[in-house]
Amino acid sequence: MTANETSRIEEYYNFVLPLIKESGKLFLEVKKETLEVENKSDHDLVTIYDKKIEDTLISKIKAEFPHHRFIGEESSGTKHGTPTLTDDPTWIIDPIDGTTNFVKDIPFTGISVGLVIEKIQVIGIIFIPHLNDLYTAIKGRGAYMNGKKISCSNVQDIKKSLFCYEISVASRSALFKLILTRLQFLTKEVLAVRSFGCPVISLCYVASGKLDAYQCDGLYPWDAAAGTLIVKEAGGYVIDSSGEEFDLMKPNFIATSTKTLAEKYLAIEKIADNTWMKKETDL
């Protein structure tokens, strides 16, 4: 990363932060009875506000920093395939994460904005309007919630760990049986299991010590760009579910309070995955 870009990271952060807070006001103005919804797929609802928030953020950032690039859920979308990440400053935006929760008036929804420069995550901001919680991180400077520094729980014993698994992705036929098999093994080992239907909040809860581990396979860059940086800046650990290095553009991952805890989860899941594969082969 050039010295010039490094020195400007705080400028980028200070510019986008009030835009995200302003977008949160639009978020809260929505009335359920006037909500216009279109089906994007059987298990993914997109709203006019999703599009409006993303368009507003992109247009204002682009006006200030015209050389910056953008990857967003609405502008890039799954129908376009995996977006290409270049070395240019790139904002990765999810205007409303947890859209089904949003439509159903469940308050676990959030706005997620991450900045990547030369393929390095440098800024992560997540705003949860219904709870008025703002999670932020700049690479190398720690993670914060509403201006107060936060840290992961430091739990290393899997039996004492509160685990969050994104069960909503089980609706995808390719993952359904695998996820159920993993949960059969994991529920015997952990303190308890939760699922919030909102990846960005789940990552924030790992960063702030409310959860000890969160896992989801089959996400997109806009689901993970801000939250995974916040976890790492809070002292946590993020790794691909295969045990390989985390890849932001193909985010299948587990985020945990400690590396030791991640290794324990992945060891159990390896046994579960082998069991699942054997059953599939025997069919």
Q: What is the per-residue pLDDT for 19?
A: 97
Using the 3D structure, point to which of 150, 175, 209 is the last residue of a domain: 150
Can you give the pLDDT of all 283 residues of the chain as single tens digits?
A: 777 777 899 999 999 999 999 999 888 877 555 566 665 554 455 678 888 899 999 999 999 999 999 999 777 655 556 688 999 999 999 999 998 898 888 999 999 999 999 999 999 999 999 999 999 999 999 999 999 999 999 999 999 999 999 887 766 666 788 888 999 999 999 999 999 999 999 999 999 999 999 999 889 999 999 999 999 999 999 999 999 999 999 999 999 999 999 999 999 999 999 998 887 787 6
Active-site pick, 50, 54, 74, 97: 97
Q: Are residues 15 and 134 in the same domain?
A: yes
Do 169 and 145 reside in the same domain of the chain? no
Domain boundary (150, 169, 203) is at 150
Q: Known catalytic residue: 123? A: no
Give the pLDDT confidence score for residue 35 in this predicted structure.
60
Question: Which of 54, 73, 217, 233 is flagged as catalytic?
Answer: 73
73 annotated as a binding-site residue? yes
**Residues 213 and 125 grouped into a single domain:** no
> What's the domain count of the chain?
2
> Does 96 show up as a binding residue in the annotation?
yes
Asked whether residue 282 is marked as a ligand-binding residue, the answer is no
Which H or E run contains 7? helix 3-29
193 and 249 inside one domain: yes
Q: Are strands 133-138 and 120-128 parallel, antiparallel or unpaired?
A: antiparallel
Q: In terms of domains, do 97 and 196 share one?
A: no
Which CATH number is 205's domain given? 3.40.190.80
Catalytic residue status for 223: yes
Q: What is the CATH number of the domain that holds 49?
A: 3.30.540.10
Burial string for 71-109 (b: 16+ CB within 10 Å, else e) reads bbbbbbeeeeeebebeeebbbbbbbbbbbebbbeeeebb
Catalytic residue among 50, 54, 74, 94: 94
128 and 212 in a single domain? The answer is no
Q: In this structure, are 121 and 138 located in the same domain?
A: yes
267 and 221 assigned to the same domain: yes
Query: For this structure, is 84 an active site residue?
Result: no
Position 42 scores a pLDDT of 40
Report yes or no: 184 and 241 within 8 Å, Cβ to Cβ: no
Q: Has 94 been labeled as part of a binding site? A: yes
Q: Of 131, 150, 169, which closes a domain? A: 150
> Is residue 99 annotated as a catalytic residue, yes or no?
yes
96 catalytic? Reply is yes
**Is residue 42 annotated as involved in ligand binding?**
no
Amino acid in position 54: E
Is there a single domain that holds both residue 193 and residue 78?
no
Check: CB of residue 126 under 8 Å from CB of residue 95: no
Q: Which pTM was predicted?
A: 0.92
Q: From the candidates 217, 223, 233, 269, give the one annotated as an active-site residue.
A: 223
Which residue among 9, 71, 96, 201 is the active-site one?
Answer: 96
Do 140 and 198 have their domain in common?
no
Domain that holds residue 78: 3-150
* 186 and 117 share one domain: no
Burial (0-12, 13-18, 19+ Cβ within 10 Å), 33: exposed
In this structure, the answer to whether residues 65 and 185 fall within a common structural domain is no
